[in-house]
Structure 1
Amino acid sequence: MMRHSCIAVAGYFAVALLALAGCGADEKAPAEEEHDLGQPPAPGPQQAGDGAGVALAIDRLFLGEVDRNGEKVPGSWKQFGFNLDGKVSAAASTDLCKPISGATPADVYPDGDDGIDNSFGKNIVGLISNFLGDPSTEVTKAIANGDFTVILKIDQLGAQSSYNPLTTKLYGGATLGGAPAWDGTDAWPVVPELLEDGQDIESAKVVFPSSYVVDNTWVSGPQTQGTFKLNLTTAGKNIGLTISNVRIAMELAEDHKSAVKGTIAGVLETDVLVEELRTVIGTVQPTLCEGMTLEGVLDQIRATSDIMKDGSQDPSQECNAISIGIGFTAKEVKLGDIAPPAENTSVPCGTAPSDGEPSDGEPSDGEPSDGG
C-alpha cells in the first residue's frame, strides 16, 4: 500500500551542513564569549562513546508563530535558529546583501536574539497561516496522531554529559498506525527514501559522523556542503522546504531519553521556496492560481530574502535566500520496519498530475529524492 506524502511525512533531514563564514561589526570576538554569539556550543575534548546509544524522535515542532511552550507570543521567531552569517544585523546595517526590489531594510534586516537569522519565522509563517491556520499546532497534531516524525539515532551515547565525536544517523518516520505512547517502546517505521539501500536500515543517507555532546547538549557537528528537503504536514497539506547550510542542536535530559530546546537552522533558496509554496497554494486554494493574486503572494515571499544562498552576506549582490529557524522537542523511540515508498499527491498551480510524473520516492532529472 502506497503512503500519501500529504499525511505520512512531516520532515526529512538529509546531510546538509555547509561552512558558515563572515564576521559582523557588532559581533563580539570569540575570546570574549564562551562560544560564538548565536551559535551552539563548541565541542569539548575527545571522548569516545561508551553506551548503547538512543533514537530520539521529534514530537513537537515550533515554526515561529508560537514560543517553545506552544503559546502565541509576539516575536517568538526570535528564539528559533542560529546566527548563520556571523552578524548581528539591524535596519541600518550596510554590510548585508541588498533587499529585493520593493523590500525595505527595516523589514528584512533586523535579526532575532543574539543575531539569530530567521526571516522564515519572522515573515513567511504568518503568510502560511493565512492559508493553513496554525501551522505549528497542526504539524504537532499530525505527529501526535502517528502520521510521521523525524528520528535522530545517536550511536554509542552513554551516561556521561560530554562525548566527542559520536556518529548520528537521521531517519524519516513513516505512519506509525496509531498514536505514539512516547514511553520508549514505539517502533516507528522508517521511510526507505533516506536509506542508501532500501532494505538495510543501517544504510542511512543522512549521517553526522562528527556530532558531539557537550554538557548534555547534542550538536550535529561541522558543516559539509549539501541540501535537504523538509516536508511539513499541516492541516492535511504538505509544505516542502529545501534547506541548506544547516545546523541542528538539542538539549538532552539527564537520562538522555528525551530532548528540549531543539533547533534546526539553515537557508532557503528564494526561487526554490517560491516554487514549493506555489504548489501548496495551488493545492489549498486553486482559485488563487488565476490572475495576479498568486504572483502577489509569491512576491511577498521573495521580498523576505535576507541572506545569500551560500549562507554568507554580500553587499554588492541582491539577497537570493531566506534564513530559517525551527524549534522542536524529542522523545525516545525504537526503529521499526522499513515502510513502502511515499506517493506524491501535490498538484501545483498550472499543472495536472500525469501518469508519467514520478512520485516523491522516485528521483527525477538526476536529483536524489527526499521521500516527501
Structure 2
Amino acid sequence: MLMNLDIRATTTWLACVIAIVPLASGCRVYDPDLLDRADAGPGEACAQRSQPPQRPSSADGDGPEVAFGLRMVVMAQGNDWPMYGYDVDGFCTEQPDLVSECTPPAVENPPADGVGGVDNVFGDQFFPLVEATTPDLEAEAREAQELGQGLPIIRMRGWNGERNDPRVDAAIMQAVFGAPGSASEEPPARPDDPASSRPVWDGRDWFWVRDDAFLMDDLGRPLIRDDNAYVADGVLVVRLPDRIDIIFPADAYGVLVRLTGAQATGRISEDGTTLENVRVSGRWSLNDLLVTARNIGVCEGERDYELLNSQLDRIADVRSTPGSGGPGVECDAISLGVGFTGTRVRVAGLAEGPPLADLCSTMTDGGVPDGGT
C-alpha cells in the first residue's frame, strides 16, 4: 500500500500538492451555493451537475488590483470530499452501472462520484491513505502557509467591485516570502532577511512572488492567467491553462504540478476582504504525477515507486485530455479537488524562488542524498 512510502517524502509531496494545485478545523468549509444543483435524493444525484455558476450577462466594468493569498488548506475532507470538487468529466458514475469516460488500469470499475457527479478521487481515496501514516500533515501544511512561503496567490485586475462582472483578468502566482504592510499603497523595502520575514494577515501584507511565473520578469505578463475569468453572484471563476508548470518547492523536496481541465472558484466576501470556500478542481495525469515523484526522491526501479504506480493505477478515474475517453479506454489521470481560504494581500514585486531538485539524480545506492547538485 501507499502507506509504505517514505513518510517524509510523502508528507512534503502532499503538502506541496495541496498548496496549489486544501479551512479551519471543525467547520463546514464549503458553500452549498457553489454547488449548482438542487438537492437530490438517491437515483437523482446527477439531475443537475455540480458546476461553477455561469458567466453573468451584466455590463463589464473596471477597478483596482485585488489579490488574495490562499491558506488554511483542506486535505482531510472526510465525507465532505464531494464539496471540494466539481463534475470534471460530464458523467454521473454511480451504482449500479458506474458509467464513466474510462476504466482504471488495474481494476474493473471506476470509483463512484459524489452527489452532482463530483469527481474528487484525491479527497475520497488518495489522501485518507496518507493521513493514516501522517496525521499531522494538514497542520504542518497550514503552518507553512501561515509563514507565507510558497503561498498561492490569486490576483484580479479589472474587477468592477460588484457581485457580477462578466470579465476580469485573473492570474495565479506563488509567494516566495511576505512582509507586514501599512495603510500606504507603496510596498515596503525588501526585508533584509526574507527567510525570517512573516506576514500578519491583516489584509495589508505584501508578498514577493516567484519570477519564473512571469514572462521576462514582467509582473504584467503572468504565465498562469485567465484574462476571461468572471464573477457571478459574488463567485470568482478562473480557468487554469492546461499543463502549465506550477512549482512548489519545500526545503530539500518539492513538486511540479501540471493540471488539465482545471478551474478555481471562490466566493468574495461582502466587504471584499476574503475569498471564501475556495476550491481548485481538475485532472492530474498519472505520468505527470510519476515524473514529479523524482522531486521527492521516489525513483524509478525502487519499491516505493512501484507502490505509488500501483496505487495510482487502481484509483485513476478520468482522462487527462477531456473528451478522449470511451468504452474500454483506460483512465490516465486522477480527479482532484482541494479547498482554501483566501485573505487580502498585495503583490510587491518579484523574487527568485528556490529551485526544484531532481533527487533521483543525487541519490546513493542506499537512497540517501549524496551531496550532489
For residues 22-80 of structure 1, what are the alpha-carbon distances to aligned partners after superposition, in whole Å with 9 as ceiling and x for unaligned?
Answer: xxx9743xxxx6xxx210100111422232231111122213x23xxxxxxx3232211
Residue 212 in structure 1 maps to residue 216 in structure 2: no
CA deviation map 1:133-173 (0-9, x unaligned): 44332221101022221111111324321111111122211
- Count of equivalent residues: 316
How many angstroms does 1:211 deviate by? Answer: 0.8
Shift of 1:94: 5.2
Give the TM-score, by structure 1 length: 0.75
The structural deviation recorded for 1:232 is 5.2
Q: Distance in 2 between matches of 1:234 and 1:339?
A: 16
Give the secondary structure class of the aligned counterpart of 1:126.
helix
In the alignment, the residues of structure 1 paired with residue 108 and residue 172 of structure 2 have an alpha-carbon distance, to the nearest angstrom, of: 38
CA RMSD of aligned residues (A): 3.2
Contact 2:362 2:371 in 1 (8 A): no
Match of 1:20 in 2: none
Is 2:212–2:352's contact at 8 Å kept on the other side of the alignment?
no
- Matched with 1:17 is none
CA contact (8 A) 1:98 1:317 kept: yes
Aligned to 2:272: 256
Q: In structure 2, the residue corresponding to 1:75 is in which secondary structure?
A: helix
Aligned to 2:176: 174
Q: Which runs of 5 or more residues in structure 1 are unaligned?
A: 1-5, 14-24, 67-73, 358-372
Residues 188-215 of structure 1: CA distance to partner in whole angstroms, max 9, x if unpaired? 00101111022x2222122211111111
Corresponding position of 1:103? 107
SS, match of residue 342 in structure 1: coil
Q: How does 1:1-372 map to 2 (within 5 A)?
A: 11=19, 27-28=46-47, 37-63=49-75, 65-66=76-77, 74-93=78-97, 95-105=99-109, 108-129=110-131, 132-176=134-178, 177=194, 178-198=197-217, 200-220=218-238, 226-231=242-247, 237-277=253-293, 279-280=295-296, 282=298, 292-312=303-323, 313-348=325-360
Q: Is the 8 A contact 2:285 2:332 kept in 1?
A: yes
CA contact (8 A) 2:176 2:353 kept: no
Shift, 1:307, TM fit: 0.9
Structure 2 length normalisation: TM-score? 0.74
**Deviation per residue, 1:310-350 (Å, 9 max, x gap):** 13442231111111111111011110221124223351388
User: Does the 8 Å CA contact 1:97/1:308 hold for their aligned counterparts?
Assistant: yes
Q: Is the 2:102–2:319 Cα contact (8 Å) retained in structure 1?
A: no
SS of the residue corresponding to residue 244 of structure 2 reads: strand
Q: SS at 1:197's partner residue?
A: helix
CA distance in 2, matches of 1:61, 1:51: 29
Q: Is there any run of 5+ residues in structure 2 with no aligned partner, and where? A: 1-11, 22-43, 179-193
**Alpha-carbon distance change, 148 to 272 in structure 1, aligned in 2, over 3 angstroms:** closer
Task: Verify the 8 A CA contact 1:139 1:234 in the aligned structure 2.
Answer: no
